[in-house]
Structure 1
Amino acid sequence: MMRATARLLGVAGLVVALACGATAETRLSIGQGRALAIQLVQNGQATAARAAALALLQRDPDDVVALIVLSRAERDLGAFKAAQKAARHAERVATRDEDRFGAALAMAQALASDGRRTAAQFWLRRATELAPDARARAVAVRDFTYVRSRNPLKARLSFGAFPSSNVNDGPTSNTLVVGGIEFVNPDAVPLSGLGFSVGGDLTWRLPAGKEAGFTLGLSADSTRYILSESARAQVPDASASDYATSGLSLSAGYDRRFGESVLSSTLRIGRDWQGGAALADWSQLSFGLQRSMDERHALSLALEVTDTRRKDSDIRSSQKIGGGVGWIWASEAGDRWASRLTLGTVQSDSAAIARREGELRLDWQRAAPVLGVELSAFATLGLAQYDRALPGLATRQDVNARLGVTALISKVDYMGFAPEVGLVLSGTNSNIPALTTRKAELRLGIRSTF
């Protein structure tokens, strides 16, 4: 008790001394006063730290260190708005990156404590950009990861541009033989061009006990094209707007953890557009199970039922049921691998839609960057056997393949976002030559590095 009383009296003496202007400097320098204020707030003595910071601010209202200490002290005392005000003032008057970093970190902490976690994430991204060294940046990234994990609201935005050799999925051959008669469609050719895409997801998670929760989601995406000069020369009547696609969907999900397993279910409804006109309304019910087998291996199971109602042609409406099994593992070096086999059947009154299909997918993500570049890749191989033949044609059989590699240039970073470059090659081999396609796309985008 005696020691605590003496400490409080010492702090009180410091506050009085600092408030006395020139006289204070003969007893305790301003630098020593700032150091003590920092020590007080780090030791959890928020009231004393607040008093010391206010005394320093009487001498200089733009004292950045005092403002940051005041922000932290006010937050510890539950005065979140005052903490934000002090941090905002500090960030505005700071001239050095290390001070701006401290102010941004203090602002993020005040916002997070006030329940404004999305705004806190923005300030933590700002802190990563202002960090004076790698250690300080790691602190901001750590705090960002923690705040994000506790934020019920999650948002994702994506932007991309991609030169494409085949924006219209045109066949490699525009000759179709029906009943021994050859037909040539001069417009059915691959058209090259430049695509632009934008997309976003917004999800809100509502806890339902310690091991469960509900999730509400909204997703939207849109892709537009510009045809190349050669494409316009090939097909003068072609319009890039005919190949534009958009999608909008709502979702509601529930997940629950059982020991090492997570069981989830999701209902999604959405609408797709093509060429500016509504293409289809769809609804999907999915179930998933993921179980961790050990620290480096996990098993996943999935089941999906999808009902699609076409707006352009009702006969092309369909019902699809599919299931999949996946295996996720990490190598000793830390590289992440994932494989998945999916099988499904599509029922429809249209011979161009009804089919049985299967696909094998393999994903890889390298653990360690190579020269500041984070590498990942994927490959898929799919088979589709159609149920009925189109008039005058054989029953369709397709082999689909895709191969992609992506490089995230994490060394070129701004607020945790870095440029991403990818190459995707895809193609379909069909027993009907007019349905065989080839496509190559160079994808350029921006992605978060953490």
Structure 2
Amino acid sequence: MWPPEALRRLAAALVLGLAAAAPAPAETPRRIPVAEATAEQLGTAAVQAVASGRAPEAAALAAELLHRDPKNPLGHYIFARLSLAEGNTATARKAARRSFFTAQSPRQHYEAARVAGQAALAEKRFGAAAFWARQTIQYAPDDRARAVGVRDFRRLGALNPLAFNLKLGVRPSNNVNGGADDRTNVIDGYDTVGWLSDDAMALGGVVGTADASASLRVAQDATSQTRVGLSGYTRLVDFYGRPMVTPIYWGSGTPPAPVEIRNSDYSTASLAANLQHSRNFGSGFVVTGQLEAGRLWQGGLPAYDWQGLDLAGSKTLSPQLQLNFGAAYERRDWVDMARIDRRQELDFGLRGATAKGTWGVGLSASTLLSPSSQSRYWSVAGSASFQPKAQLGPLALNLAAGVSTTVYPDYMVLFMHPEGGRQDDAIFAELGMTVPKLGIAAFAPEVKLQALKVDSNVSRFSRSEVAVAVGWRSTF
């Protein structure tokens, strides 16, 4: 850009013809020196100069705006536009960023984000460009501009060889340990009644989760791409108060003292590496296969290593309807025992859009084959969701519900075997509430009200849970 001294001299020499200065449209616009013009008049003249291709004049007027107020967003914006037109992307990026963070209206945020994104894209800084695309979505002045921002963000995701995903959540709950509702343990078909320990009862607390993944594109052509990646997951529990449990006492010696139930006993963590290949077969038909291997820790100790194969696909049936399907196989090698489990799953779903909102339905079936009779099961589940377009004041809503049945055909309680095995029937419902206008870069705060009820013929596994999950979600 031009030296500041030259810009000041040019600005001092300018005389502006400002129609906005006339008190009535019929009057001839007054011509006034720059020094006598208001900031609004300077801004109007600078925008007109940019539109007319008079770059030196626009730069001089922008310099005058910034001389009067170094935080003037329009002055920084004009310099960003001019620098980008010259190919000076570094200056354009810095000026656009200053304009964005000093902006005083949604429109100023939007325009500054557009220029910042264009500068980042010119430098092939795809991550930064995606960030600014999200800002254009956040501050889009209308639905058309928002749709353009969403399209740009997705195109940038396809261009960037690196991909990251991070989900953080905090969930206060009245049952963080999956404990029973009733102290007694009743088995259908048997008169025997058991008594559950304190740690088998529902305990309230807070659950924190972190789910992160990163991948690198290593190959790509017109119809396919291959990525390698890492993923990690952590679940931590903090019980309310200091719940205690009394160890089992068989009636000899001094009874043991109660001990605290440790938060760490209910922690879970996993780490995995994967290789993923996606292929587009045309006509809206896309299939992705993934090989994965990792380890799971429970209570801070290694539980099992796993190797898995996932296959997922989607088929666009119409502009408003999409079919999703998937299949998965996983082998689990337990660390502290000679035991290998094999889990298999199939799932199907439909997603659609109507004038009133978007909806989805899904059906899945899974089974676990294991040498442990207590662990073998099969399960079927169904779910439905709906996100209405209409908002409740500032709130955008999302509704979901589902049911499932899980059967452990060989489950035993001591010498007792319930007829047909242990059967857990579950129902859940969820109401999500988001405030899009409070979002940052098209991520908005979200609160989910969650409820779960499980009925089992082994009452130890009958439980209920009410929770409030707090987090952030993308608004598109």
TM norm structure 2: 0.77
The amino acid that maps onto 1:161 is V
CA RMSD of aligned residues (A): 3.5
- Closer/same/farther in 2, CA of residues 58 and 243 from structure 1, 3 Å limit: closer
Structure 1 residue corresponding to 2:427, chosen from 381, 396, 401: 401
SS in structure 1 at match of 2:389? coil
Answer yes or no: is 1:368 the counterpart of 2:390.
yes
Conserved in 2, the CA contact under 8 Å of 1:339 and 1:362? yes
Conserved in 1, the CA contact under 8 Å of 2:244 and 2:259? yes
In the TM superposition, what are the counterparts of 1:416-427 in structure 2 within 5 Å?
416-427=442-453
Conserved in 1, the CA contact under 8 Å of 2:203 and 2:239? yes
- Closer/same/farther in 2, CA of residues 382 and 229 from structure 1, 3 Å limit: same
- Closer/same/farther in 2, CA of residues 288 and 36 from structure 1, 3 Å limit: same
- Closer/same/farther in 2, CA of residues 412 and 61 from structure 1, 3 Å limit: closer
Structure 1 unaligned spans of 5+:
1-15
- Closer/same/farther in 2, CA of residues 300 and 436 from structure 1, 3 Å limit: same
The amino acid that maps onto 2:141 is R
Structure 2 unaligned spans of 5+:
1-5, 18-30, 247-257
In structure 1, distance between residues paired with 2:58 and 2:383: 59
Q: How many residues align?
A: 425
In the TM superposition, what are the counterparts of 1:29-428 in structure 2 within 5 Å?
30=34, 38-39=47-48, 41-42=50-51, 49=55, 51-56=56-61, 62=67, 65=74, 67-88=76-97, 90=99, 94=102, 96-97=104-105, 102-123=111-132, 135=141, 139=145, 142-143=148-149, 145-151=151-157, 152=160, 153-176=162-185, 182-187=193-198, 188-205=200-217, 208-229=220-241, 231-232=243-244, 237-257=260-280, 258-315=282-339, 317-331=340-354, 333-390=355-412, 391-394=414-417, 395-428=421-454
Answer yes or no: is 1:24 the counterpart of 2:11.
no
What are the superposed Cα offsets for residues 343-371 of structure 1, whole Å, 9 maximum, x if unpaired? 23221101122222211122222222221
In structure 2, distance between residues paired with 1:433 and 1:310: 28
TM norm structure 1: 0.81
Residue aligning to 2:23: none
In structure 2, distance between residues paired with 1:19 and 1:437: 78
- Deviation at 1:372? 1.9
Conserved in 2, the CA contact under 8 Å of 1:269 and 1:284? yes
- Deviation at 1:245? 2.0
Conserved in 1, the CA contact under 8 Å of 2:402 and 2:429? yes
Conserved in 1, the CA contact under 8 Å of 2:343 and 2:366? yes
- Closer/same/farther in 2, CA of residues 17 and 337 from structure 1, 3 Å limit: closer
In structure 1, distance between residues paired with 2:336 and 2:454: 24
The amino acid that maps onto 2:380 is G
What are the superposed Cα offsets for residues 129-169 of structure 1, whole Å, 9 maximum, x if unpaired? 7x6xx628984784365134313244333332222111111
- Closer/same/farther in 2, CA of residues 279 and 145 from structure 1, 3 Å limit: farther
- Closer/same/farther in 2, CA of residues 377 and 217 from structure 1, 3 Å limit: farther
SS in structure 1 at match of 2:464? strand
- Closer/same/farther in 2, CA of residues 73 and 168 from structure 1, 3 Å limit: same
- Closer/same/farther in 2, CA of residues 342 and 353 from structure 1, 3 Å limit: same
In structure 2, distance between residues paired with 1:432 and 1:419: 39
The amino acid that maps onto 1:416 is A
- Deviation at 1:318? 1.0
The amino acid that maps onto 1:262 is V
Residue aligning to 1:441: 467
- Closer/same/farther in 2, CA of residues 354 and 61 from structure 1, 3 Å limit: same
Residue aligning to 1:4: none
Residue aligning to 2:252: none
In structure 1, distance between residues paired with 2:357 and 2:103: 42
SS in structure 2 at match of 1:191? coil
> Aligned residues: percent identity?
23
What are the superposed Cα offsets for residues 205-256 of structure 1, whole Å, 9 maximum, x if unpaired? 5662233222344333322222123845997521122112223333332222
Residue aligning to 2:22: none
SS in structure 2 at match of 1:135? coil
The amino acid that maps onto 2:197 is P
Residue aligning to 1:3: none
SS in structure 1 at match of 2:260? coil
What are the superposed Cα offsets for residues 54-74 of structure 1, whole Å, 9 maximum, x if unpaired? 444676764754543332233
